[in-house]
Structure 1
Amino acid sequence: MLLHWNKYAQRLGDKGYKIMESLLLINDPKLDGTMIYHELPNEGSKIDFDSEKHDLLGYLRGKLHNHDIQIEVVVNETVENKFAFTPQDKFNRMNEINPALEVLRRTFDLDI
């Protein structure tokens, strides 16, 4: 599901629909059975997303061969953006995404 979600977002970006692309890529949706939960940071984003949700549903239903799929948008205005400023912060953030970086750092005795 996530693969097709990202492909659809890329397709929108290629067509020039950058706002919708960014709304799709703002975070990864969560799948629970046939319900897809997508978290957005504010009500305005939800309104923009809902205007294009029908096309996304049609695309996902066709690609996944499952016409029971639904999308639920959750507004979470307390979402915090994490910014990395120092090299250590950047490494820690990347290490959260891919823990294998710590093994790589130790194996080659790399400085941060």
Structure 2
Amino acid sequence: MLLQWNKYAQRLSDKGHKIMEALLLINDPKLEGTTIKHELPNEGSAIDFESGKLELLGYLRGKLHNHDITIEVIVNENISSRKAFTPQDRYNRLNEINPSLELLRKTFDLDF
């Protein structure tokens, strides 16, 4: 599910829909049964997300072959965006997603 979520965000980026892309990538959604729970930092973000939610839902239902999927938006004023601004931050974020990245970096003696 997360892979398709990120592919959809990339698709939005390619089309120039940067706001919706940013809302999708603020944090990783949680899957509980057939409900996708996505936390957003404020009510304004939730309103913007709702405007593109139906398209996202249609995309996910088709790609995952599951028409029971629903998306629940949770507004949590305490979450902070996990944006990576420096090369070190980007590397750390990617290493969280795929720990094999460290092995690749060491094997080929790579820097950031």
TM-score band w.r.t. shorter chain: 0.7 to 0.9
Normalised by the length of structure 2, the TM-score is 0.76
- Long gaps (5+) in structure 1: 85-89, 106-112
Q: Deviations over 1:54-108 (max 9, x none)?
A: 0000000011110000000011111135799xxxxx58x928826675xx88xxx
2:61 and 2:67 in contact (8 A); partners too: yes
Normalised by the length of structure 1, the TM-score is 0.76
The corresponding residue for 1:108 is: none
The corresponding residue for 1:45 is: 45
- Could you tell me how far apart the structure 2 residues matched to 1:83 and 1:53 are? 22
Number of residue pairs matched by the alignment: 106
Deviation >2 Å, runs of 4+: 80-84, 93-101
Matched, 1:14 2:14: yes
- Could you tell me how far apart the structure 1 residues matched to 2:36 and 2:49 are? 14
Question: 1:67 is paired with a residue of what secondary structure?
Answer: coil
Question: 1:36 is paired with a residue of what secondary structure?
Answer: strand
What is the aligned-residue RMSD (CA, Å)? 3.1
The corresponding residue for 2:66 is: 66
The corresponding residue for 1:94 is: 92
The corresponding residue for 2:78 is: 78
- Could you tell me how far apart the structure 1 residues matched to 2:82 and 2:7 are? 25
Q: Equivalent pairs: percent with the same residue? A: 68
- Long gaps (5+) in structure 2: 107-112
The corresponding residue for 1:26 is: 26
